[in-house]
Amino acid sequence: MRARRVIAAASVAALGVLSLAACGKSAPNIAAYVGDTTYSVDRVDTIYDEVQTKYGDAVRQEAGQANATPSPEQLRSPVTRQDVVNLLVGLELGKRVAAAKNVQVPDEVTPQQLEQSLRVPASTEYARLWGEWIDLLQVLNQQLPPAELSDDSLMAVYGALTKTGAIQPGMSVADVRRAFGDGGFVRSATALSAALEDEADRLDVTINPRFQKVGVPSVVSTGQSLVFYSLPYINEDGPVTDISTPEPLPSSDAPSAEGPAPDPGTAS
């Protein structure tokens, strides 16, 4: 099977954080400290619970129109509390980076535009935060110079995408390079990751151990739909290195390049 070329519509990034205990910030009711901003576990739970409730209601309504009865599993959104923390922390750091560069972030991407691909009702705070995050990503991508395209950064993005089913697993570095074309979105991802990690270090960001593996939320377009995912976090020792290099595929399975992806603002 031939892999589609995957072109990013918005950058991807990840950052490392320290444990709460390491920095003397250990309140069990706090999910994250980002400088002088705190995010409570209650807020994380509220955002998460709203997603689950409204998602379940939407599934029940759709199933009722088809005279079907959804299973308990079908009523659960795949969104996790970790996803919520990732989004809150990424937004706070990204806003601070944008403020330091004195750039304005337009309000362009709406929850309604993301609802179908995100598979979360547009009326939820989670969908609203995603729209805000994509607006911010697009601005920062324009401000930060692209980073070098390394094999490690390339395969980190590829490994994260395979978990969503957006691209076939088992590809070699050479195959992934061909599939990703010039790798512009990986370069942007690496640059944004570095900027956010620098900001996290400057602010002494700390995360409740319940949510310690923080990854900045990411979105990529296949040309037909948006794929939402998160990269592995980067700790103080560098990028996560548990993504092994697969064996090369037979030539008949090599990926082919396809056309560029639309801007995420065109999603519906």
Give the closest residue to 43 by CA, choosing from 83, 78, 85. 85
Question: Helices in 66-183 by DSSP H: which ranges?
Answer: 81-100, 111-118, 125-143, 151-162, 173-179
| pLDDT score, position 222 | 75
Mean per-residue pLDDT over the chain, rounded: 78
* Ranges of each domain in the chain: 18-41+81-257
Q: pLDDT tens digit string along 74-94?
A: 999 999 999 999 999 999 999
Residues 6+ apart with CB under 8 A from 225: 117, 267
Q: pLDDT tens digit string along 237-260?
A: 333 323 222 333 333 332 222 323
Residues 6+ apart with CB under 8 A from 211: 31, 32, 44, 81, 82, 85
Q: How many CB atoms lie within 10 A of CB 260?
A: 13
| pLDDT score, position 41 | 97
Residues 6+ apart with CB under 8 A from 235: 16
| pLDDT score, position 30 | 95
Spatial distance between the Cα atoms of 132 and 119, rounded to a whole number of angstroms: 17
| pLDDT score, position 196 | 87
pLDDT band (50, 70, 90) for residue 223: confident
Indicate yes or no: pTM above 0.75: yes
Spatial distance between the Cα atoms of 139 and 136, rounded to a whole number of angstroms: 5
The vertex-190 CA angle with 266 and 32, nearest 5°, equals 85
Spatial distance between the Cα atoms of 16 and 238, rounded to a whole number of angstroms: 9
